[in-house]
Structures are given as C-alpha cells and as structure tokens.
Amino acid sequence: MIVEPNLPAEGDLAEQQRVDAIVARGPGGAFTLAGVAVAIVMAIWFAFYLLVFVARGGA
C-alpha cells in the first residue's frame, strides 16, 4: 500500500475554501425546494378534495 502525505496543492486549497464557504451558508436551497414540493402536493390535494368530494356531497 502506498501512503501519500495529505498536503493540499495551491489550487486545492482555494477549492477547499470555496467549498467551505458554500457549506457554511447551509441547506437553504434544499429547504426551499422541499417547501415548494409540499406546497404543490397540498394544492393538488385541496383541488382534488374540492372538485371531487365537495362536488359529490353538496346536496
């Protein structure tokens, strides 16, 4: 097995700093995407409820 020292190159250090800055901002985009998906599912559910169940049992 060949063991190499874990020394970052100059380009790798800049890349690591860029990645660290992105990770530090947090998962805001993931939460936004999840919120939009939940809103779409709820809108479809309410539309189905109003157009099918309420329309059948109105009288």
pLDDT of residue 4: 64
Q: How confident is the model at residue 58 (pLDDT cuts 50, 70, 90)?
A: low
Distance between start and end Cα atoms, the chain: 79
Which tens digit of pLDDT belongs to each residue from 3-46? 766 666 667 888 888 888 988 988 999 999 999 999 999 999 99
Q: Indicate whether 48 belongs to any domain.
A: yes
Q: Indicate whether 47 belongs to any domain.
A: yes
Predicted TM-score (pTM) of this structure: 0.58
Q: Indicate whether 1 belongs to any domain.
A: no
| Number of C-beta neighbours around residue 18 at 10 A | 10
Asked if 16 and 8 count as a contact pair (C-beta separation under 8 A), the reply is yes
Between 1 and 53, residue with greater pLDDT: 53
Q: Indicate whether 23 belongs to any domain.
A: yes
Number of domains in the chain: 1
pLDDT of residue 42: 98
Q: Indicate whether 39 belongs to any domain.
A: yes
- Supply the range of the domain harboring residue 20: 11-56
Q: Indicate whether 29 belongs to any domain.
A: yes
Q: Indicate whether 2 belongs to any domain.
A: no
Q: Indicate whether 50 belongs to any domain.
A: yes
